[in-house]
A and B are shown apart, each in its own frame.
Chain A
Amino acid sequence: MTALKAQSKFIFGGAIIVLAVGYLIVSSIGGSTAYYLTVEEVKAEGLSEHTVRVAGTVVGDTIEWNAQELMLRFKIADASGSLAVIYHGPRPDMLQDGAEAVIEGKYFEGESFEANNLLLKCPSKYEGAATATAEAPVK
């Protein structure tokens, strides 16, 4: 076997692996993206087809916490309006009036936003890890 031929075997094999890994990455991006939308955009789009993320501020007096069923309802507001959110799971420690929230989930038209992920930052000017994520159990 000539040296060149032996080398081409590796270049070919390596290229296949690179392509396979590349394909895996690109194809995985497809189903996992979550667009950041404003409240207005969420409502304009209606029933979400994919997971979306919305950033806003928690409106304190809308927080309703059902401890029996571990169900949480609250509203978040941004410059374009406010959005009712439902979340199942323990109440995150940082959920309070004025907290900056990023919610991830789907909007059901005429109803509310079903969040399966809450990312919260507490309102105090506190650096670093004074934030927490909460994740709803995957059904």
Chain B
Amino acid sequence: MTIVGSGALALAFFISACTAVASILGARRGSPKLVESAQKGVVAAAVLVTSASIILIYLLLARDFQVQYVYEHVSTYQPTIYTLSAFWAGQEGSLLLWLWLLTIFSALIARREESWSRELKPYALALLAFCQAFFALLLVLTSNPFATLPIRPAEGFGLNPLLENFWMIIHPPVVFIGYAAYTVPFAFAIAALVTGKLGEGWIRGIRRWNLFAWLFLGLGIVMGAWWSYLELGWGGYWGWDPVENSSLAPWLVGTALLHSMMIEERRGMFKVWNIVLITLTFALCIFATFVTRSGIIQSVHAFGLSVVGYYFLAFLAGILILSFGLTFYRRRELASEVKLKALLSREASFLLNNLLFVGLALAVFIGTVFPTISEIVRGTQVALGAPFFERVFAPLSLALILLIGVCPRLGWRQTSLRRLLNDLLYPGILALALAVAISVRGVTEPFALLSFTVCTFVASSILWEFLRGTMARHRSTGEDYLLAFRRLITKNRRRYGGYLVHLSMVIIAVGIIGSSLYQTEYQVTLAEGETVTVKDYTLEHEGFWVESSPAKHRFAIPLGVYRDNKRIATLVPEKNFHWNVEQWVTEVAIRTSLKEDLYVILAAVAQDGSASFQILINPLVVWLWIGGGLLLLGTAVAIWPEGRASSKLEMIVGADDCDSSERLAPVE
């Protein structure tokens, strides 16, 4: 089995390399046969890598401990679902997952005939095949998941207990789907540069791939934060750890890209800029894989430099040289078709949005590589801590949120100030009213007050837009309100999907602001039967559980939680000794509500059953996860194909994403 697996990977490398060459030659010489054979090669590689992946899954489920990867991540006593998720618990499996996803995406592209991509496809496939060859080579040479041990151990080491969490089952694949999918827009950008077909066709064509990649990366980040919050047990969800940062950076650049692509699509501007953004997004995805897996940067997730790092650096350098070289070569064709005219226009506001997002990404990148760079330049390692990121992020993200409120109210080309103010009047009044209300209730910290006001302003301006649209539709079509609301969204998916995503960002921001500015913390020691009151909650120590299993020795203390003399929950914080890693793993207990989370960490247990706890009250944390859900919903709305019957009509009317504000905006 292992030989078949290794063989499939080696063959996948060989076929991908040949495919890349054949595809380019076929397109150059105008040989449809060669191009077609390259497309078959892409599908063949997908079949091979899929087989290799299925073999690995089989070996994991069969618990074949002679395979080193299985031995390191599986045990006989861990639940089957974690045996499956062991696939992406280590370097070898993660790289295989990357490759697997990439080959599936490439095969989809190869099989799909679309008019816009006809001439671009051979080159795009060549680039995809080249990336596949890189990952396949990496797997074969440095990280073969099918490497075997000389003997067959009776028991495996088992999954790291910290990875035994629901979100760890889906977080890594979700992030990797994002990374791998970002290869597709990059491949088409390169193809457009090579062929010189730099019209709007390709930008429009990759829109969906781009959204898809962006969505998965974003969801993956939220899930990772959730895992961290539930499992790492320090009361937070984001530690500005290099691995977290390196997944955030491509998402930030990707967000800038989503917006500036719209400008190119509609106005033929920002062409060079878009290519730069696509390249950076993809390069940062590769960089993120590299950071996670090379150990070049000290992190919670990765230690110890491995040889994989050098391959990644060479690959990264290749990508950047190729893309920027081609961009320079095509610089004349990439000139903007129109120039920016008015400050109060959507184009200008997108420019601002782009600068801020790229600024944030730059800050994240600098903060992440700073220790490594400073060691090279000055000989000493200098780290940048969380305060650095917070100082940069607080003002810039607030500015971005404010932009969310203002931007969509700006029409293309130019908008009059009076119109803009008129549009923003009600949300503004509402936000000011809230500011007064919460300052009376005791929120007096200037930054909190300012940011909550901004968030209210933006959220209400988005909701106002939904309301206004529904009312207008109700009046003009006579549909009832519910139907009018639904049709409003389904007839303008891109526009209203985008608004939902905007709303999700505001909601996430509220969660971040609340939990980072207003976390409160208590430390208590309780004997059995004793109670403690923190804020509105009374907690009672209700006993002591000890149990032993092949995986761990478990200590748990059930706490009865009361509020207003009513029992509202039982929390069971635990401290477990895991035999495989020979150490304690703390499992926190959380009671979630819309207002705040009660977060209990079992710090220590004494002989007599008394225990010390760290109790945190984290306000508004749940809104982060709710925002994540809305992000999924909004992007799904935007990405969903328009209904066939209606889309023709909408196209004639031009209502797709060009919205009323454009048609109403005075054009000078």
Contact = CB atoms under 8 A, between A and B. Distances in A.
A89 B614 CA distance: 8
Contacts of B339: 3, 6-7
Question: Which of A6, A67, A129: most chain B Cβ within 10 A?
Answer: A129
A93 to B, nearest CB: 4
B343 A34 contact: no
Interface in B445-502: none
Interface stretch (A22-30, A56-64, A74-82, A106-114): A22-30
Given A24-B396, A90-B603, A91-B604, A122 B363 contact: no
Nearest to A99: B583
Contact of B383 (A24, A53, A96): A53
A133 B392 CA distance: 23
B581 interface: yes
B160 A129 contact: yes
Question: Which of A3, A25, A134: most chain B Cβ within 10 A?
Answer: A25
B651 to A, nearest CB: 32
Interface residues of B, number: 63
A72 to B, nearest CB: 10
B380 A36 contact: yes
Nearest to A135: B234
Contacts of B239: 133, 135
B654 interface: no
B604 A65 contact: yes
Interface string B512-532: 000000000101010000000
B236 interface: yes
B341 interface: yes
B7 to A, nearest CB: 25
Interface string A116-139: 010101101011111111110100
Contacts of B387: 28, 31-32
Nearest to B342: A6
B392 A28 contact: yes
A93 B366 contact: no
A49 to B, nearest CB: 14
Contacts of B355: 14, 17-18, 21
Contacts of B351: 10, 14
Contacts of A121: 303
Nearest to A22: B359
A50 to B, nearest CB: 10
A76 to B, nearest CB: 16
A46 interface: no
Chain B contact residues: helix, strand, loop or mixed: mixed
Contact of A36 (B383, B388, B391, B586): B383
B542 interface: no
Nearest to B378: A35
Contacts of B309: none
A127 B90 contact: yes
A132 B339 CA distance: 51
B348 A128 contact: no
Contacts of A102: 298
A70 B391 contact: no
Contacts of A124: 581-582
A122 B583 contact: yes
B391 A132 contact: no
A126 B160 contact: yes
A67 B386 CA distance: 28
A67 B612 contact: yes
Contact of A93 (B386, B584, B614): B584
Given A34-B382, A36-B380, A130-B162, A119 B298 contact: yes
B504 interface: no
A132 B362 contact: no
Contacts of A13: 343
A9 B233 CA distance: 51
A10 B586 CA distance: 54
Given A13-B343, A65-B604, A135-B236, A24 B391 contact: yes
A121 B583 CA distance: 11
Contacts of B604: 65, 67, 70, 90-91
B614 A70 contact: yes
B586 A93 contact: yes
Interface of A: 3, 6-7, 9-10, 13-14, 17-18, 21-22, 24-25, 27-29, 31-36, 51, 53, 65, 67-70, 89-91, 93-94, 96, 100, 102, 104, 117, 119, 121-122, 124, 126-135, 137
21 contacts: A10-B348, A21-B355, A24-B396, A32-B384, A34-B385, A53-B383, A68-B525, A100-B303, A122-B582, A124-B582, A126-B160, A128-B90, A128-B160, A128-B163, A130-B160, A130-B162, A131-B303, A132-B162, A132-B232, A133-B241, A135-B236
In the A-B complex, the 9 residue pairs with the smallest Cβ-Cβ separation, listed nearest first, are A67-B604, A32-B388, A21-B359, A90-B603, A36-B381, A28-B391, A93-B584, A32-B387, A137-B521
Given A35-B383, A131-B303, A133-B234, 5 more contacts: A18-B359, A27-B391, A36-B382, A104-B383, A131-B300
